[in-house]
Amino acid sequence: MGTTGLLATLTGVVQLEVAGLFTKILERYGDEEEYPYGPPLYITREVIDNPDTPIRTWLRTYAFFKPSTGFWFIVVGTLAQVAAVWL
């Protein structure tokens, strides 16, 4: 139980870092003066998934682009650690 809590917390921290990294990339390529027609095509393909695969798109959105996912991993991991210590 303790290991599960630690791994969930670690996963949340890593996910927040990943989400922050994508935010920096979007801020850089979102500059309309430098890229008036949007980001380069290879960046756009990484940001926008294939619309024909809605499950994979939903999973990538929540795994990589939503900082709240990382926050909830940290909360669940901390609660699991508390439960492991007290049970």
**Ramachandran sector of residue 38 (left: φ over 0; alpha: ψ -120 to 50; beta: rest):** left
pLDDT tens column, 18-76: 777 657 766 777 777 777 766 666 666 566 666 677 787 777 777 777 777 878 888 88
Distance CA 4, CA 38 (A): 42
Question: How many residues are listed for the chain in this entry?
Answer: 87
- Say yes or no to pLDDT of 12 above 70: yes
Model pLDDT, residue 74: 84
Question: Tokens 């008036």 identify what position?
Answer: 36
How far from 7 is each of 29, 31, 49, 84, CA to CA, in Å?
33, 37, 28, 13
Distance CA 20, CA 8 (A): 18
